[in-house]
Amino acid sequence: MIRSSPQGSAWFLAPALVLAALLYAPGLAGGFVFDDFPNILRNEAIRQARFDAASLWEAMLSSPSGPLARPIASLSFALQVASQGLAAPAMKAANLAIHLGCGLLLFLWLRALVDAPRIAPTVSAAERRLLPLLVTTAWLLAPIHLTTVLYVVQRMESLSVLFTLAGLLVYTRGRLRMQAGQGRVWMPFAGLAVMTGLATLTKETGILTPLYALLLEAIAFGFRTGRRRDGGVMGYALGVCVLPVVATIALTLPDALSGESYGARPFTLAERLLTEGRILWAYLAAIVLPRLPELSLYHDDFPLSRAWLAPPTTLLAWLGLACLAGLAIVLRRRNPVASLGLGMFFAGHALVSTYLPLELYHEHRNYLPAAGIFLALVSGGLRLAPRLETPRVMLLAFVAWLVLQGGTTLMRATEWSDPVRLAYVEATRHPASPRANYELGLMLSIVSQGPGDPRHGLALATFREAAQLPHADLLPLQALIFLTSRQGQPIEPEWWHALEKAASQRALSAADKSALFALVDCVTRRICAARDAPALDRVLAVAVDHHPGDATVYAMAARLRLHAFADEAGAERLLQAALAHTPRDPELWLSLAEIQARRGEHHWALQSLERSAEFDRFGRLARRRAALHTALSAS
């Protein structure tokens, strides 16, 4: 793959790769954070992954994230756990390797891109030689990618982008071969389709790969082969690129518009759309001129836009974005590289920063879009340089800019080298962020030696503070109860009241439910004191009453009834009620079958088992079902 070419050998990239590795190295020592817990640490299928097909298959289907469960990312975690155990440094090192791999692919792709028929005539020899190298170097060193690289679970993002870049590379090379009169029209599209599939099964944003390709085709190739418009290319583009995009919109838009999916978010669809305009500018600032204090894992304290003029920057932001988009269109003939770069930024945000009911702000969403911004910037700089009186100024400016990017990355990586330090820094920078404060409390409680340790008291104080913040979820309250109950100390009644109030007055977010689940788990595993079970039972009863459509709440309540009170009949009733609301949940059906088997309702249990099989499309629960089936046939 690496070979010398007029655009410069790939070996020229080696220093940038080594430099990036060195800058990130301090961060490899850090630990797991936030979403690593539900996806990896608390995920039994991944924790206990072994090198056998059944175990790996279960692990692949085990992630609670995203509608497609991201099986390839999970597989990569499972393989690593199976071979190296559950060690954060090794996992971060693998993430770093993926980052460097992405850099290499980006370089190779850009090197092919500058030969595209609509781009080659617009770039000078110097641009041709320098553009791929400079863009890739900047991209490799940029601190905005730090959360993608050192945050283990974000391998989902980087691995998906790895496949996307491979798809773009295969596509561009295939199209260049066609220009040279070699290769068949289906080849680039077949490669693109395969890579799109892999990228999408790593993280759903991989479905944007065809959108990038469409942009690339429109700007760099113009749907032409030689001088003629190519019907074959247009046909395949329709099938391989347009169709998935249209299908994605058709599958996701109605749900977002229905309003129901926004229920658990502290913002509405309109508010999200308004706010994202300002957030995109925040991203642009962080990409172009990163400042350490602005970069963070947590942005849940980003102020919402409530209307076009509240705050007024909302309107300004959107006008600015319109200008940027206009610029991309104006430039598409004169400077197609810059146009493509801006287009990539918009394309990359088309899904995650628009109508979907996701959280507002995440730096890792810029992993590939940032490459587009760098492409536009570097291309602009390279064009400007020859016109300056002393082009060397541009070189100096570029080096200074790289030092800024790389230096910030190094400082961030150092912050990340120690989980407690990281949590402390984040909480100080984002005093209003419930997440950052919760995480600090969590880290303090993990390192504390028990009630005598001052860090224990500090952890409790941090959780108390976090619980009071606006838009706080139930995680801090859960942590307070967890820590206190584990020590056998009495729980403050207000905490239970606060939980009951939340359960009765607002929609429960995923974080809220995971907090409740953690408490149920704590009680059923006898980590928390048994005398706290009735209070938790009351909270869950309130939650069941107020969220009649939410199966997970019923399932939690059932789990508590079964394990803390040995109330099989009550658990069965709750599970049945949960299934009446979400009859297509294979895990609920299996849990019901297990309880029915225990209660001796064998005919029902067998039928429930069948239902579970009907909805467990990939056999994730096959082993558990087989075990129960054997037990039922034996008795």
Q: Which residues bind another protein (CB under 8 A)?
A: 231-232, 234-236, 238-239, 243, 572, 576-577, 579-580, 583-584, 589, 592, 596, 601, 603-604, 607-608, 610-611, 614-615
CB of 420: closest distance to another protein in angstroms? 49
CB of 235 to another protein, least distance (A): 3
* Chain center to CA of 99: 15
Handedness of CA 505, 507, 513, 515 (dihedral sign): negative
- DSSP labels, 517-574: HHHHHHHHTTSS-GGGHHHHHHHHHHHHHH-TT-HHHHHHHHHHHHHHH--HHHHHHH
Q: Which is nearer to another protein, 233 or 519 (CB)?
A: 233
Kindly give, in sequence order, each residue whose CB lies less than 8 Å from that of residue 393, ignoring residues fewer than 6 positions away: none
Q: Is 307 helix (H, G, I), strand (E, B) or coil?
A: strand
CA distances from 71 to 48, 92, 110, 364 (A): 16, 19, 29, 19
Q: What is the DSSP letter of 418?
A: S
329-365: b (≥16 Cβ within 10 Å) or e: eebbeebbbbbbbbbbbbbbbbbbbebbbebbbbbbb
Nearest CA to 491 out of 501, 503, 479, 502 is that of: 479
Residues 6+ apart with CB under 8 A from 66: 203, 204
What's the CA gap between 468 and 625, in Å, rounded?
44
State in angstroms the smallest separation of the CB of 533 from another protein.
Answer: 26
Assign 257 to helix, strand or coil.
Answer: helix
Q: How far is the CB of 190 from another protein (least distance, A)?
A: 12
By C-beta, is 567 or 601 nearer to another protein? 601
User: What does the alpha-carbon distance between residue 332 and residue 38 come to, in Å, rounded to a whole number?
Assistant: 44
Place of tokens 């077949």: 190
Q: Rounded distance, CA 282 to CA 322, Å?
A: 16
CB of 596 to another protein, least distance (A): 7
Terminal CA-CA length for the chain: 61
Distance CA 552, CA 522 (A): 17
Nearest CA-CA partner of 525 in 478, 486, 476: 486
